[in-house]
Structure 1
């Protein structure tokens, strides 16, 4: 095989490999869990801003993001009922694939029905926020506490 044919073959192989490397699979996605458990509105705004900044930097298609809320953290979704800016942020993040997860223990302790939280369904409820954080970390999610 002459040098020109060898070079052409190497170029085709390199292009094929780089094309495969560019295709993101679920295993290639950056997996992150954001932990929100404090009740201060400023912290909630900072948390959703951090998540959006993260998406802006990496790309929603390259990420699998969970936002786990327990304790005072569920106040984020309570406040969204009355604040259009928080609603818009939650809606935008959900449209980008962010999975909001709410602690059932917190709902029970505060005697709140799931319906009291903005845009929350049974699929969003996890048995325990703390346990969920541990499960997700064991599954390889990076833990972030904004």
Structure 2
């Protein structure tokens, strides 16, 4: 029901009304902002590798602090940057290593053993004790 405004000595009456279009514009702006913020919160940590299956794999609820990936050709990446074993050791030494510091290694199932051992040696050289391998559970 519209509200009637009176006053000012004029004979014409004006109806007060709420403009919906600016409210809709604001709502679309907020929706777009929340969508962009939520997309920026998702993190892509590494390259895509085909990890091997393990029937005894255990799900770890705590996310690791460092993600390393080794592709089928033996190229190692830290998040999305290509690194050498020496760079891995140097970067780990520069990080504040705590008891909670953990490294997750995602090695492609076609990766040579030599590449994996080089990454493990680089992690151990930086005095990081907690590391693990990413696997997937077999499909049933």
Judge same fold: TM > 0.5, yes or no: no
Q: Higher Cα Rg: structure 1 or 2?
A: 2
* TM-score class, shorter: 0.3 to 0.5
TM-score by length of 2: 0.34
Relative contact order (C-alpha < 8 Å, sep 6+): which is higher?
Answer: 1
TM-score by length of 1: 0.33
Structure 1 or 2: more helix by fraction: 1
